[in-house]
Amino acid sequence: MANTVKKLFRGNVGTSAADVYTVPSATVAVITNIVLTNTTSNVLTGTVKLGTHDVLSSVTVPANGIFAFDLKQVLEASDTLNAVASGAGVKLHVSGMEIN
């Protein structure tokens, strides 16, 4: 088995819920860190789900600030990571490992 430490997602979060990462076939992923960054001068919120289960539910991301969360969550092949924000300007950074 090969273990690859990598960014699982890095990009903008939309105002409609969308899958931002899907575990590839024949792979297990371990999410180790989630960071939400707010690039606006307004307070915004973000929600991150593993499949249909909230991991971060409408967490406050301060104006021009960040919300960081360290965790160890295992996802199996075809499991998804989903995100949504209350407004434009939220960016999501997800780090972890893929094992295949």
**What single-letter DSSP state applies at residue 99?**
E
Residue 18's CATH number:
2.60.120.340
Reported pTM: 0.94
Q: Look at residue 2 in the predicted model and tell me its pLDDT.
A: 87
Q: What is the pLDDT of residues 61-90, one digit of tens each?
A: 999 999 999 999 999 999 999 999 999 999
- d(C-alpha 33, C-alpha 80), whole Å: 15
- d(C-alpha 19, C-alpha 68), whole Å: 20
Q: Look at residue 99 in the predicted model and tell me its pLDDT.
A: 97
Count up the domains in the chain and report the number: 1
Domain that holds residue 80: 3-99
Q: What is the pLDDT of residues 42-67, one digit of tens each?
A: 999 999 999 999 999 999 999 999 99
91 touches 12 (CB < 8 A): yes
Q: Look at residue 84 in the predicted model and tell me its pLDDT.
A: 98
pLDDT value at 1 more than 80: no
35 touches 68 (CB < 8 A): yes
Q: What is the pLDDT of residues 10-36, one digit of tens each?
A: 999 999 999 999 999 999 999 999 999
Lowest-pLDDT range, 2-6, 11-15, 89-93?
2-6
- d(C-alpha 62, C-alpha 80), whole Å: 26
